[in-house]
């Protein structure tokens, strides 16, 4: 094979691989849901909750960015696990207009519920334009509450003696975690929900030690091997995805999201996480 023919064949092969990778990233991986299973040891966990399951679903992004029938189908698969608790960590809607409220209403009957309880927090997209429309956040919260999904906005709720603490979105005008953290009780079993993991670096924690469940990053949606994630909507770029030991008694888990802002994923499959609760031995 002469040099010119070799270069031509190499170029055609590269273009072909690029086309296949693009097609995969657009039409296959965004809909290739992974159920990630992990242990969750919690300090002071009641004996009756040991072995119970807690499902985390994050960043649903109901809207016009992708065919949200995928969300409905995924929820039906998730229900087969019959989780005891379900937590949602924000961005229920990819809100642009009232149209997305109607779309959310279409999906709400299919939401996964926990046998013992279902709670959630809002994300930045649930706050509408510039993450600042309180009326949009209130409307979405009301819809979810009507479906028996308790939305925690700098609040806490105890279900079966597991205390859920929820922060409103970090970028929203209602991020006021001190409202709830000033009443933090370290003698009970606690679990914190927040949408944006950058909240972990704020001086708000009042000595909290335990798990923090977050979303927001989507794991960057694209991650090339051997390279750092190119796009992350966080200040602290170590907050990409998965379990992160914050080295102060806190453990952060960032869910890779089930939905997406743009229909492209590569090496970052959409995720629903299923935790098995256990008592942390101290």
What are the tens digits of pLDDT across the range 4-47?
543 444 443 444 454 456 688 878 999 999 999 999 999 999 99
**Interatomic CA distance for residues 160 and 176, integer angstroms:** 26
Q: Look at residues 57, 62, 111, 59 and name the one whose alpha carbon lies nearest to residue 88.
A: 57
Is the predicted pLDDT of residue 129 greater than 50, yes or no?
A: yes
* CB-facing half-sphere around the CA of 271: CA atoms within 13 A: 27
Average the pLDDT over 60-81 and give the result: 96
Q: What pLDDT does 280 receive?
A: 86
Residue 39 pairs with which residues in a beta bridge? 276
**Judging by DSSP bridges, how do beta strands 210-214 and 162-166 pair with one another?**
unpaired
Q: What pLDDT does 160 receive?
A: 96
Q: What's the pLDDT tens digit per position in 131-187?
A: 999 999 999 999 999 999 999 999 999 999 999 999 999 999 999 999 999 999 999
Torsion angle of the four alpha carbons 229, 264, 36, 46, in this order, in degrees rounded to the nearest 10: 80
Q: Domains along the chain? A: 32-279 (3.60.21)
**The two structure tokens encoding residue 141:** 């919260």
**Interatomic CA distance for residues 100 and 167, integer angstroms:** 23
Q: What pLDDT does 157 receive?
A: 98
**The two structure tokens encoding residue 175:** 């991020």
| DSSP at 45 | -
Q: Is 275 helix (H, G, I), strand (E, B) or coil?
A: strand
Q: What pLDDT does 227 receive?
A: 81
Q: What's the pLDDT tens digit per position in 175-219?
A: 999 999 999 999 999 999 999 999 999 999 999 999 999 999 999
**Contact of 91 with 125, CB cutoff 8 Å:** yes
**Interatomic CA distance for residues 256 and 129, integer angstroms:** 23
Q: What pLDDT does 15 receive?
A: 44
**The two structure tokens encoding residue 69:** 């029938």
């Amino acid at each position: 094979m002469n040099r010119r023919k070799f270069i031509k064949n190499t170029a055609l092969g590269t273009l072909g691989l690029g086309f296949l990778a693009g097609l995969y990233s657009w039409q296959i991986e965004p809909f290739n849901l992974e159920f990630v299973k992990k242990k969750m040891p919690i300090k002071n966990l009641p004996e009756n909750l040991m072995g119970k399951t807690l499902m985390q679903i994050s960043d649903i992004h109901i809207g016009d960015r992708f065919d949200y029938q995928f969300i409905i189908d995924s929820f039906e698969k998730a229900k087969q696990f019959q989780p005891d608790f379900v937590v949602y960590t924000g961005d229920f809607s990819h809100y642009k207009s009232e149209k997305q409220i109607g779309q959310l209403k279409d999906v709400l009957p299919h939401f996964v519920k926990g046998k013992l309880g279902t709670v959630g927090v809002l994300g930045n997209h649930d706050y509408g334009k510039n993450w600042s429309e309180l009326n949009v956040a209130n409307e979405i919260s009301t819809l979810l509450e009507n479906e028996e999904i308790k939305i925690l906005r700098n609040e806490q709720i105890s279900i079966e003696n597991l205390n859920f603490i929820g922060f409103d979105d970090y970028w929203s005008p209602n991020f006021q975690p001190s409202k709830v953290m000033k009443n933090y009780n370290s003698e009970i079993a606690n679990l914190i929900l927040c949408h944006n993991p950058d909240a972990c670096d704020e001086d708000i924690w009042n000595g909290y030690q335990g798990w923090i469940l977050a979303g927001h990053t989507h794991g960057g949606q694209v991650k090339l091997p051997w390279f750092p994630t190119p796009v992350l909507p966080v200040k602290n770029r170590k907050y990409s995805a998965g379990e992160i030991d914050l080295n102060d008694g806190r453990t952060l888990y960032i869910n890779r999201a089930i939905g997406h802002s743009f229909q492209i994923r590569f090496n970052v499959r959409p995720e629903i996480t299923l935790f098995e609760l256990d008592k942390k031995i101290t």
